[in-house]
């Protein structure tokens, strides 16, 4: 996944969830934040960030905040990126779901009862649902999700359990928007209910996977499977 017209800037302030104030060559710029999460550990005053510039755009802001340099580590915080890199990998035939047979059908977003899952796919012998979660929270090289309570995330997990019990092959995929973390774990401190739901999902046969990504100033690419510690 490639970004165009990337410009280096310095983060200054975040007045609300959708807007940041940055400096580009000592000039103030209003920037769209493509992640409505808290991201407090990322958006620290005077941190270097990378923006995608849309010079011909008629929108209010001509910049999107894409990547943050956190103590020398590039972290992509574009919330639309995880779905795109998973779709790209699946479409290119990468066996990231660890299946025994190739996909014969692939579609992004598909409704199941009260949920809309990120991926629906089929093989010769199975029907698959997958929900994708982007991960940007890191402490001491350990990555966690969520960074804020997510009742919607718990709902998705319970619906995946229901789909599994109704014959679907189900997955939760955590896309870690940085490279080479030690492992992934649920953020029990922030939302214990989500972590407990994830444990329940594993016990019910839902597949739980985590992948890190190679991040550059201009791209994000799905990389390697990462260890998961649920307990």
CATH topology of domain 81-225: Trna Endonuclease; Chain: A, domain 1 (3.40.1350)
pLDDT at 188: 97
Give the model's pLDDT for residue 37.
Answer: 82
Return the structure tokens found at 215: 């991040």
3-state class (DSSP) for residue 71? coil
Residue pair 160/154 in contact by the 8 Å Cβ criterion: no
Q: Into which CATH architecture does domain 6-76 fall?
A: Beta Barrel (2.40)
Segments of the chain with pLDDT less than 50: none
| Paired residues of 74 in beta bridges | 69
The residue whose two tokens read 């940085």 is 178
Whole-prediction pTM: 0.94
DSSP, residue by residue, 205-231: T-EEEEEEEEE-SSBEEEEEE--B---
DSSP H helical ranges for 137-191: 151-165
| Residue corresponding to tokens 């739901």 | 197
For CATH 2.40.50.580, the residue range(s) in the chain are: 6-76
Q: Where in the chain is the domain with CATH 3.40.1350.60?
A: 81-225
In tens, the pLDDT along 10-42 reads 999 999 989 999 999 999 999 999 998 888 899
pLDDT, position 57: 76
């Amino acid at each position: 996944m490639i970004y165009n017209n990337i410009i280096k800037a310095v983060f200054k302030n975040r007045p609300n969830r959708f807007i940041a104030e940055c400096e580009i060559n000592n000039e103030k710029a209003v920037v769209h934040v493509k992640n409505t999460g808290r991201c407090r550990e990322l958006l620290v005053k005077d941190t270097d960030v990378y923006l995608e510039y849309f010079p011909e755009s008629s929108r209010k802001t001509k910049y999107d905040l894409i990547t943050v340099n956190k103590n020398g580590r590039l972290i992509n915080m574009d919330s639309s990126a995880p779905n795109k890199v998973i779709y790209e990998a699946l479409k290119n035939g990468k066996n990231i779901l660890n299946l025994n047979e190739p996909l014969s059908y692939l579609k992004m977003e598909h409704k199941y009862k009260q949920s809309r899952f990120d991926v629906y796919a089929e093989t010769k012998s199975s029907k698959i649902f997958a929900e994708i979660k982007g991960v940007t929270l890191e402490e001491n090289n350990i990555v966690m999700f969520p960074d804020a309570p997510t009742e919607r995330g718990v709902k998705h997990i319970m619906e995946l359990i229901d789909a599994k019990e109704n014959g679907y092959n189900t997955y939760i995929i955590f896309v870690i928007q940085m490279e080479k973390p030690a492992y992934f774990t649920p953020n029990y401190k922030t939302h214990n209910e989500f972590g407990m739901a994830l444990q329940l999902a594993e016990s019910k046969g839902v597949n739980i996977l985590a992948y890190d990504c190679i991040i550059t100033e201009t791209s994000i690419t799905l990389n390697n499977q990462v260890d998961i510690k649920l307990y």
